[in-house]
Amino acid sequence: MEFYLTALMIGICLSTMSLGIFITMKIFKIPDITTDGSYTLGAVVTALLLPWQLNPFLAIPITLIAGGVAGALTGIVHTKLKIDALLAGILVMTALYSINLSLLGRSNIPLINIKTIFSYFHPFNKEVYDGLMMATLIVTIIISLLAYLLKTDFGIAMRATGNSDSMTRALGINNDKMKIIGLAIANSLTAFSGYLVAQYQNFTDINMGIGIVITGLGSVLISSAIINWLGVANIWIQLLCVVIGCVIFQMVLAVTLSLGIDPNMLKLVTAIFVLLIVSLPKFLGRAAA
C-alpha cells in the first residue's frame, strides 16, 4: 500500500514536468529535451536556498525563473541561431550539467532538518497523506493558472503558433518570441518538479534528472491516449489528464519494481515501457488491418 502511495506522490510531483512536456510537444510541436537539465536545476536551486532558512514558498518564484531562463536559452538557440530544437535542447542540457554541478559544489546535498513545503500543514497527522495533500494542492493551483493562461488571448496565440505558423505570422504573431516564451514556461514547470521531488526525497543529486524526459514523454503519451479516447476538448481537463497520465506511468513502474526487478534496471524498464506505449498502437493497427 505504502508503495503505491509513494508512486502516487512521485507521479503528482513529476506532473508539472509532464505538463511542461505537454506544452512543448503537444502545443508547440517542439521536441525539447532541456528537461533533464532544468529538472535538476530546480532541485539544485532548492538545495541551495532552503538551508538558508528561506521560506520554501519564496523559493518557488526563484525556481521557476531559473527553469525559465534555461528554457528561454534553448528557445533562443533554436529560433535565433536556427538550430534544430532537439540539438538546441541537448546543448543547453549538457551545459546545465556543469552549471548544476558547480552550483551544487558536490554531487549530492541532503535536505534534512530543514523546513520544506511539506513541513507546514498536517491535517491528517500522517506524513504520506499530508505530503499528498500539499502536492495535490500546489499542482491544482498550477493547472488552474496554466488553463487560464491557455484561454487568454495570449494563450490562444501560443496554441496557434504550434498549429499553423503560416497563419500566425500572417496574423501578426512573432513565432520566434512565442516559442521562446513557451519553452521558458515549459522548463520552469520542469524545474518546479525538481523543486518538489528534492523536498519530498530530502536530497538533491546531480544525476537525478538523467532520463527524466522519458518519464515526461511517456506520461504525455498516456495522457494523449486518454484525451483522444474520451475526446476531451476542455483544456483544463486535458491538463488534468496529463497529471493522471503521469500518475499511471509511476504506478506501472511501481508494479514492475514490486515484481522484484533490480532497481538498477529502472531506467531500462522506463525506456521499454515508453517504447511499448509508442509502438503498441502501431502493432494493434497492423493486427487490425
Partner 1 sequence: MIALSNINKVFNKDKDNEVVAIKSLSLTINEGEYLTIVGSNGSGKSTLLNIISGAEMPTNGTITIEGTDVTKMPEYKRSKWIARVFQNPLSGTAPDLSIIDNFRLAALRTQSRGLTIGVNASFKKKVKDRIATLGMGLENKTEQPIGTLSGGQRQALTLLMGVMDETKILLLDEPTAALDPRSADIIMKTADVLIKEHNLTAILITHNLKYAHQYGNRLIQMSEGVITKSLDSQQKLALPLTDLFAWFI
Asked if 154 contacts 37 with a C-beta cutoff of 8 angstroms, the reply is no
Question: 3-class DSSP state for residue 113?
Answer: coil
By CB under 8 A, tell whether 232 contacts partner 1: no
What does the buried/exposed string (b/e) look like for 178-216 if buried means 16 or more CB atoms within 10 Å of the residue's CB?
bbbbbbbbbbbbbbbbbbbbbbbbebbbbebbebbbbbb
Q: Which is nearer to partner 1, 133 or 173 (CB)?
A: 173
By CB under 8 A, tell whether 231 contacts partner 1: no
By CB under 8 A, tell whether 237 contacts partner 1: no
Helix ranges restricted to H, 50-112: 59-80, 85-104
By CB under 8 A, tell whether 188 contacts partner 1: no
Which of 160, 225, 232, 237: binder of partner 1 (CB under 8 A)?
A: 160
Q: Which is nearer to partner 1, 17 or 184 (CB)?
A: 184
Tell me which residues in 129-158 interact with partner 1 (CB under 8 A): 148-149, 151-154, 156-157
CA distance 91 to 70: 11
Which of 125, 166, 229, 289: binder of partner 1 (CB under 8 A)?
A: 166
By CB under 8 A, tell whether 175 contacts partner 1: yes
Which of 107, 108, 144, 164: binder of partner 1 (CB under 8 A)?
A: 164
Asked if 141 contacts 236 with a C-beta cutoff of 8 angstroms, the reply is no
CB-hemisphere CA count at 13 Å for 150?
25
Number of CB atoms found within 10 A of residue 30's CB: 22
Q: Provide the 8-state DSSP code for 111.
A: -
User: Backbone dihedral region of 202: left (phi > 0), alpha (psi from -120 to 50 degrees) or beta?
Assistant: left
Minimal distance, residue 22 CB to partner 1, in Å: 14
Tell me which residues in 4-63 interact with partner 1 (CB under 8 A): none
Minimal distance, residue 175 CB to partner 1, in Å: 7
Minimal distance, residue 182 CB to partner 1, in Å: 14
Q: For partner 1, which stretch binds (CB under 8 A), given 106-114, 134-142, 171-179, 215-223?
A: 171-179
Closest CA to 78 of 224, 186, 206, 223: 186
By CB under 8 A, tell whether 80 contacts partner 1: no
Minimal distance, residue 86 CB to partner 1, in Å: 23
- The Cα-based distances of 51 to 24, 57, 102, 103, 268 in angstroms read 33, 13, 17, 14, 34
By CB under 8 A, tell whether 169 contacts partner 1: yes
Which of 58, 82, 102, 172: binder of partner 1 (CB under 8 A)?
A: 172
Which of 86, 141, 171, 268: binder of partner 1 (CB under 8 A)?
A: 171
By CB under 8 A, tell whether 262 contacts partner 1: no
Which residue do the cell numbers 484525451 mark?
A: 227
- Cell readout for 38 is 532544468
Minimal distance, residue 165 CB to partner 1, in Å: 9
Minimal distance, residue 159 CB to partner 1, in Å: 6
Q: Which residues bind partner 1 (CB under 8 A)?
A: 148-149, 151-154, 156-157, 159-160, 163-164, 166-175
